[in-house]
Amino acid sequence: MVSDLKSLKTKFLEYIEIEKGRSVKTVENYDHYLSRFLMQTKVRSPSQLTESVVREFRMWLNRQAGVSGSMKKKTQNYYMIALRAFLKYLRKIGVESLQPEKIELAKTSNRDLDLITADELNRLLRAPVGETETALRDRSILELFFSTGLRVSELCSLNADIDLTRDEFSVRGKGDKIRVVFLSPSAKKAVSTYLKKRGDMSEALFTGRVAGFKGKEPSRLTPRSVERIVKQYAVRAGITRKVTPHIIRHSFATDLLENGADLRSVQALLGHQNIATTQVYTHVTDRHLREVHKAFHGKRRKG
């Protein structure tokens, strides 16, 4: 049986990609976290992987520089999640090592989500002005984000043969799972107008021309390009805080909850595998409960 951790790591990555169906990006992330762990700790065999080794690595992580001081606890936890999954795999294949339950995640602060206000959202959606193909494309992108709650990678993978005779379409999300998303009237109109303006034959729904290649067919927009587009219109709309496609996804979820949608439905619409991921939005429902309590509690008491 293979006994060196480097080879076992390779087998683990193959396992989560093939048997567990994890995305290529997830596999790449796990590879990064585990490779850094092995390089820093210099452990070679499963028996060398002890609680003290993990503790020393965590201390090293905590002292690494981040955007604002030390590395964020949330980022540090990503390393521990990858290591814990690796240890579970070792136990599954009968390799003696540290028990995965010995690894606890660091407590993180329950900070509020990065959100934009309803007024800022409206200004953002109105920011693409004009009837040029670029303006119509960008208006479609923003409207689709807010109408469907798509991830930026999901939006970039859409093709131009989208069926606009219906108010819904299927999208392939994380873990190759398919879910249905729905088009609002404004999103449907924006996409339809944009497609009528299109003069190319690219199969991608959203395209852009590469500088210096004007004669060629436009290429499919990348997630990075879409992030730049969103940022550009946020600045144009006078929004001073950072705005990303994911923040519009947050706005999509909170809008549903504020208008009475239940958490399970929002989970399905977002494509979250676990309800715990969706519970990050409970601050919205909590606020609603406070309003219910204030409106209806203790009305019969006197004095």
| Per annotation, catalytic residue among 36, 91, 174, 198 | 174
Question: Which residues, including other chains, have CB under 8 Å from residue 33's CB and lie 6 or more apart?
Answer: 78, 79, 82, 83
| Per annotation, catalytic residue among 22, 137, 151, 250 | 151
How many whole angstroms separate alpha carbon 135 and alpha carbon 156?
Answer: 17
Biggest CA–CA distance in the chain, Å, is: 80
| Per annotation, catalytic residue among 9, 22, 188, 249 | 249
| Per annotation, catalytic residue among 73, 91, 246, 283 | 246
How many whole angstroms separate alpha carbon 12 and alpha carbon 31?
Answer: 9
- Whether 33 is a known active-site residue: answer no
Q: Residue type for 171, please? A: V
Question: Which residues, including other chains, have CB under 8 Å from residue 291's CB and lie 6 or more apart?
Answer: none
- Whether 30 is a known active-site residue: answer no
- Whether 123 is a known active-site residue: answer no
HSE at residue 280, side-chain half, CA atoms within 13 A, is 18
- Whether 220 is a known active-site residue: answer no
Phi-psi region of 177 (alpha: psi -120 to 50; beta: other; left: phi over 0): beta
- Whether 249 is a known active-site residue: answer yes
- Whether 216 is a known active-site residue: answer no
Q: How far is CA 7 from the centre of its chain?
A: 30
Contacts of range 74-81, beta carbons closer than 8 Å, 24 or more positions apart? 74/108, 76/106, 77/105, 77/106, 77/108, 78/29, 78/33, 79/33, 79/36, 79/37, 80/104, 80/105, 80/106, 81/105
Task: Write out the catalytic residue numbers.
Answer: 151, 174, 246, 249, 272, 281
